[in-house]
Amino acid sequence: MMVWNQSLAQKLLFSFAPENAHGLAIAALKMGIVKGDDIPQDERLKVRLWDLDFPNPLGMAAGFDKNAEVPDSLLGLGFGFAEVGTLTPLAQPGNPKPRMFRLAKDEAVINRLGFNNEGHMPARRRLEQRKGNGGIVGVNVGANKDSDDRAGDYVKGIEAFADLASYFTINISSPNTPGLRDLQARDALDDLLARSLGKRDEIIGKIGRRVPVLLKIAPDVDEFGLDDICSVAIARGIDGMIVSNTTLDRYDNLKESTKKSEAGGLSGKPLFEKSTIALAKTRQRVGADMPLIGVGGIHDGKSAMEKIRAGANLVQFYSGMVYGGPGMVGQMIKEMGDALTTTDVQSIGSLIGQSTKEWAAKELIND
């Protein structure tokens, strides 16, 4: 049972501005007010990638635990893995407030946070304190807004956390740092991956492990841009990709018409179709062997499983929990297990790519 009543808790949190509510949620996790009990354990949901054993394919996406304050509390909710960050070398405040907006009728969020975080060192100290706790905790690294060498900031991130990260995510997908998505262009991306992977390889002997490095891309790319990204990622030997982040698109059918004009990235339910199309098209380009994490619009067990059918090995969500609450993780595990039982499927991995062709046939439209 959850320590708190989800319905009452959501009403309380929704009485606060979104960013303040987020702070309260972090505080509640720190204090142990929110925790998961009796989380289902289902052998069929286990996933092995790289040298890591995931108890289930559900992950907390970056953006929730920006400063590595509560990774173990998130794992305690039932997540198979948690990703902290985005972390930049130096602390930065991000964009002016207000910068987060709920579109409650759409179960969506718009944010223009801008990589607000405390920087590498405070996060490193926290991750050092939890070392030995077990569980899979990825580190999402980014670049400072005013950096003269953005690729160099990613290299610094890999150097700072290589002995602590279960895996790394190179985040070039946020729309809220001006020019960041320019790193998705072929030449810039090639330089970024060469330097980042070079640093990772340089310190393998020191830490005794080849830490997987993943590339997180935006959904707002066209077919030609995706061709370039995937070809560079394959050529450089990236260990996996995360598809995708928030979108700059605004959809005509959004019910919260007054808020949809806010600048920033849109996440939540409305992003599911576009991000899943981008995922499937990525799967077609990189082949069957490269691990992919599907993100965008996941809100229940069914949507998580559809991401896997579209080509994901693992999935992540964040906005979905704003509306579903912390208890949704255990519920999703149950829903996924029940679906496997109904279809007599013995392993979640056997579903990967079943609907890739159908999703990839859809047009990737950008407003």
Query: Is residue 304 within 8 Å of residue 57, measured between CB atoms?
Result: yes
Phi, psi (deg, nearest 5) at residue 85: 110, -170
Q: Could you confirm whether 350 is annotated as catalytic? A: no
DSSP one-letter string for 312-327: -SEEEESHHHHHH-TT
C-alpha angle with apex 102: 98 to 108, nearest 5 degrees?
Answer: 135
Tokens 């077919």 found at: 223
Cis geometry, peptide bond prior to residue 244 (ω within 30 degrees of 0) = yes
Amino acid letter at 206? K
Catalytic residue among 173, 174, 196, 303: 174
Taking Cα atoms as reference points, which of 73, 114, 118, 64 lies closest to residue 94? 114
Q: Which two tokens stand for residue 295?
A: 């993100």
Q: Could you tell me where the beta strands, DSSP code E, fall in the chain? A: 47-49, 52-54, 58-60, 81-87, 100-103, 108-111, 137-141, 168-171, 213-217, 240-243, 265-268, 292-295, 314-317
The catalytic site residues sit at 174
